[in-house]
Amino acid sequence: MQRSILALVVLLAVLLVLPFALDRYMLSVMILILYFAFVGQAWNVMMGFCGQLSLGHALYVGLGAYTSAALYQHFELIPWVGMIAAVLVCVAAASIIGWLAFRFGIGGTYFALLTIAFAEFTRIGFEHFDWVGGTAGFFLRVTQQSRMDVLNLRGDPIMFYYLALALAVAGFLLSAWLLRGRLGFYFRAIRDNEEAARAAGVNVFRYKMYAVQISGGMTALAGVFFAFYYNNLFPEQIFHISRSIEIILAPIIGGIGTLFGPVLGAAVLTLASEGINAALEALGHEIPGVKQILYGVALGLSIMFMPHGIWPGIARRLGFTRARDDSDA
Amino acid sequence: MPIDAVVNIVISGLFTGLVYGLMALGLSVIYGVVRIVNFAHGELMAVGMYAAVFAFVMAGIDPLWMLVPLAVAFFGIGYGLQRALVNPFIGRPEHSQFILLLAVALVLVNLLLVFFGPDARGVLVSYSLDSYQIGPLLIDKVRLICAAVALITCAILFAIFRYLSFGKAIRACADNLLGAQVVGLNVKHLYALTFGLGTACVGIAGCLMSLLVDVTPGLGPAYTLLAFVIVIIGGLGSMVGALAGGVLIGVSESVAGLLFTPSAKGMVSFALMILVLVFRPQGLFKAR
């Protein structure tokens, strides 16, 4: 345990000074990695800790993004306040989905399909929601990048780097705190055997609701970040099922239910994707689709041969965990 | 709005819905027996559509002649897919299975993109624009043929499961896996046969659909979602339900396109799916 904390401190120190050593392109890659690490962490709370498979997390990214962006654009509300509204909206959405699912006993595959249905329903809804641009998209006021305006989140990519880093660190610490605490034990009890947890006196409905609400609220923050970093929102892109899938890849490849899995998975996948891009560019094979084929093959192979992700094996080798409690790393 | 126009639209939705139903039937059969949700289902459908379009463009073959060859080829694809890739994943957690089939879907869709490009491609046969006039009703010939073929295919599938010994064996696996193993059924082989049958349905549905709409690689994921909606409404694993769900969605899509804007028709489908999942998760047409 001591060694892993030391490693974390070193990693954080490196990440804090890293932007000064990176060019603009690498900085954008790092921002992506941190973003996916955070949003993967958020998804992991629900699936990795509590065993509720959501395939519709793009819903919370989109709702969070649109809420904060609309408040900023229409009411001049600064994103730091909009953020709170975004979290509230997403917790409400998560509560509705969770209540419907858990009250009526929907689990497993059916729950996953329910989350897809809600995300798709909302996507089509926003395509016809003219107040936020509909299919034509919703654009935030862009100002000179040289002017750093932290209050309105307008400015240089370096600011967004530190924002993403703060999110990733906060997400990590929240997950670590959840895992060590009472809540984490209830979550894992439900994940491993719902009936046994119920028999042992765990209020299964309440704790599943907490998992969904925490996960949805965290993902809302990722949505706010997305909106102010990219400055444009299209329902077709932000709510699309391919976005939901993107979110869950990092924790699955990295190691589902672990703390480091989402971080490691985000780094591996983003770097692999950028690496494939660069390699194809160098070879002159810029046919659309080739990259996704390689990506798909890599994904299939990794799930085939490393069903528990990359992290558990590494953790054991580094001596961070004993072999038997992988999932608590 | 004149009543006969409405009836025409409902009938055309009904015929398209039967083809949807055939597609969803494949998904439902696979889930009902193998207990795996085929996330690459719509992508396989798109492959079938492209195969039919390709044969038409290159050799001028009417897609209707491609039905049997495609069914055979897709049966082989499904059998191989189950044997080689899916079988080791039976018993693994759902998210693992999901990622595996997602990877298959990703590869399929992008192979189509690489080979055929992003443009929409279609088939225009000599009878594409023919229609029958029955009183005030106007029925597209192509749509009628597609609906008939879809129904015949379903009937064949029902007959296989009811009368053929391997069909009965597959049903035994679905009803009681342990019992099936005890009496010596080769479950791996039967699972692969099931996957093959389900995929053959998709091949035929894709071939038919190529007559009705233009195909783009992006249709793959869209059809996967559509197939989910249909099987949930009909009842996951239920054969009759898949067909009825397909018809329901086909009709509701065309009516929703008439009442609201056509682009909002998907919302009605997903709302129906949510309602069914919450209040009747076993599906509208299936006893619990």
- pLDDT (tens digit per residue) in B127-156: 878 888 887 788 889 999 999 999 999 999
Instruction: Answer whether residue B285 is part of any domain.
Output: no
pLDDT of residue A58: 96
Provide the domain limits for residue B111.
3-279
Distances (CA, A) of A175 to A217, A252, A259, B76, B163: 13, 16, 7, 46, 55
Cβ contact, residue pair B278, A128, below 8 Å:
no
Q: What is the CA radius of gyration of chain A?
A: 20
Chain B closest-CA separation from residue A269 CA (Å): 14
Residues of B with CB under 8 A from a CB of A: 37, 85, 88, 92, 94-96, 98-100, 102-107, 109-114, 118, 217, 221, 225, 228-229, 232, 236, 261, 263-264, 266-267, 270-271, 273-274, 277-279, 281
- pLDDT (tens digit per residue) in B4-34: 888 888 999 999 999 999 999 999 999 999 9
User: Which pTM value belongs to this model?
Assistant: 0.90
List the end-to-end C-alpha distance of chain B, in Å, as a whole number: 40
pLDDT of residue A329: 42
pLDDT of residue B51: 96
Chain B closest-CA separation from residue A25 CA (Å): 26
Residue A51 pLDDT > 50: yes
Please tell me the least confidently modeled range out of A113-117, A147-151, A272-276, B21-25: A147-151
- pLDDT (tens digit per residue) in B176-214: 889 999 999 999 999 999 999 999 999 999 999 999 999
- pLDDT (tens digit per residue) in A244-298: 988 999 999 899 999 999 999 999 999 988 888 888 888 876 777 888 888 888 8
User: Which domains are seen in chain A, by residue range?
Assistant: 2-9+25-328 (1.10.3470)
User: What's the whole-number average pLDDT of chain A?
Assistant: 89
Cβ contact, residue pair B273, A113, below 8 Å:
yes
- Percent of chain B at pLDDT > 90 equals 68
Of A100, A118, A292, the CB nearest to B110: A292
Instruction: Answer whether residue B226 is part of any domain.
Output: yes
Cα–Cα nearest to B104, from B80, B131, B128: B80
Please tell me the least confidently modeled range out of A176-190, B61-75, B270-284: B270-284
Instruction: Answer whether residue B286 is part of any domain.
Output: no
Q: Find the residue in B nearest to A102 (Cα).
A: B278
Sign of the four-CA dihedral A311, A316, A319, A325: positive
Cα–Cα nearest to A38, from A192, A169, A191: A169
Rounded Cα–Cα distance for residues B178 and B171 (Å):
13
pLDDT of residue B224: 94
pLDDT of residue B41: 96
Interface size between A and B, measured as CB pairs under 8 A: 120
Q: How many domains does chain B have?
A: 1
pLDDT of residue A1: 60
Cβ contact, residue pair B270, A121, below 8 Å:
yes
Residue A61 pLDDT > 70: yes
A55 touches B at CB < 8 Å: yes
- pLDDT (tens digit per residue) in B219-263: 999 999 999 999 999 988 888 899 999 999 999 888 887 887 777
User: What's the whole-number average pLDDT of chain B?
Assistant: 91
Chain A closest-CA separation from residue B279 CA (Å): 7
Instruction: Answer whether residue B287 is part of any domain.
Output: no
pLDDT of residue A328: 46
Instruction: Answer whether residue B232 is part of any domain.
Output: yes
> Which A positions 265-324 lie with beta carbon below 8 A of chain B?
287-290, 292-293, 295-297, 299-300, 303-304, 307
Q: Residue B259's domain is classified under what CATH number? A: 1.10.3470
Structure tokens at A178: 């959840």
- pLDDT (tens digit per residue) in A286-329: 777 888 888 888 889 888 998 888 898 888 887 776 544 444 44
